[in-house]
Amino acid sequence: MAKIVVALGGNALGNTPEEQREIVKKTAKGLVDIVAKGHKLVICHGNGPQVGMINLGFSLASKIDKTISQIPFPECVSMSQGYIAYHLQQALQ
Distance separating alpha carbons of residues 5 and 63, to the nearest angstrom: 41
Q: Give the domain range for residue 73.
A: 3-92
* Confidence (pLDDT) at 32: 96
- Phi then psi dihedrals of residue 3, to 5 deg: -100, 120
* Confidence (pLDDT) at 16: 87
Distances (CA, A) of 91 to 3, 80, 85, 87: 21, 17, 10, 6
As for how many domains the chain has, the answer is 1
> 7 in helix, strand or coil?
strand
Tell me the pLDDT of the chain (93 aa) as tens digits: 899 999 999 999 988 889 999 999 999 999 999 999 999 999 999 999 999 999 999 999 999 999 999 999 999 999 999 999 999 999 999
* Confidence (pLDDT) at 15: 86
Other C-beta atoms lying within 10 Å of the C-beta of residue 67: 6
Q: Write down the pTM of the prediction.
A: 0.83
